[in-house]
């Protein structure tokens, strides 16, 4: 089962007063791609969702909200993301010597810092000496670290945001618990819109 966001896309498009043809022109996506997305017949990439959110002048997170009021315009969420585990995040970016421009690593470290299961096993996820992710051993059934459930799905999203690891984004988001869902949406926002983390 995948997360269904087609209704949100359609409602936002209509509230903003756009036709499918206008969205097609703004995004470069085909009319059938937009229609399939609005009818939950496709599994869009993060890049496709980013194009849609930019065309609609909304934050990408608005597409994932569980309920939208179909008569009120959507308000973008704050560009500032509050860290729940600030010390963990600071430790990770300091150990790696990550700069403010390295959005891929910032999104990755945000996810790891905010999920205790991932943070406690960071050595199996990220190699600080080589400054890169451990090649998916953490997702391997026979690997040293075998995460299950929400943490495993969140790690797939982290890898996807870091280097394009193939992940069924909507299906993966569907498998997250409420807290990890919030973490994933914030990380997507960080990766696509820039840092925005309050330290």
- Give the pLDDT score at 73: 38
Tell me the C-alpha distance between 40 and 36, whole Å.
6
Q: Provide the pLDDT for residue 122.
A: 92
Q: How far apart are CA 93 and CA 110, in angstroms?
A: 9
Please report the pLDDT score of residue 97 as a whole number.
94
pLDDT of residue 147: 73
Q: Give the pLDDT confidence score for residue 91 in this predicted structure.
A: 96
**Which residues of the chain carry a pLDDT beneath 50?**
1, 67-78
**Secondary structure E strands in the chain:** 81-82, 126-127, 132-133, 197-198
Q: What pLDDT, on the 0 to 100 scale, is given for residue 34?
A: 93
The domain locations on the chain are 6-64, 81-198
CATH of 6-64, one of 1.10.260.40, 1.50.10.20, 1.10.10.10, 1.10.3720.10: 1.10.260.40
């Amino acid at each position: 089962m995948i997360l269904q966001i087609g209704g949100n896309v359609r409602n936002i498009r209509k509230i903003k007063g756009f036709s499918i043809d206008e969205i097609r022109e703004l995004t470069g996506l085909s009319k059938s791609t937009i229609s399939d997305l609005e009818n939950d017949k496709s599994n869009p990439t993060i890049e496709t969702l980013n194009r849609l959110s930019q065309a609609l002048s909304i934050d990408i997170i608005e597409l994932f909200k569980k309920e939208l009021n179909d008569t009120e315009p959507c308000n973008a969420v704050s560009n500032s993301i509050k860290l729940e585990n600030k010390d963990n995040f600071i430790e990770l970016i300091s150990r790696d010597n990550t700069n403010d421009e390295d959005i891929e690593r910032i999104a990755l470290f945000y996810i790891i810092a905010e999920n205790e299961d991932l943070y406690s096993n960071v050595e199996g996820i990220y190699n600080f000496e080589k400054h890169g992710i451990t090649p998916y051993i953490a997702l391997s059934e026979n690997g040293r670290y075998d995460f299950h459930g929400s943490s495993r799905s969140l790690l797939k999203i982290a890898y996807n945001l870091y280097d394009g690891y193939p992940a069924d984004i909507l299906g993966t988001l569907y498998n997250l618990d409420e807290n990890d869902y919030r973490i994933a949406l914030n990380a997507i926002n960080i990766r696509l819109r820039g840092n925005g983390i309050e330290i």
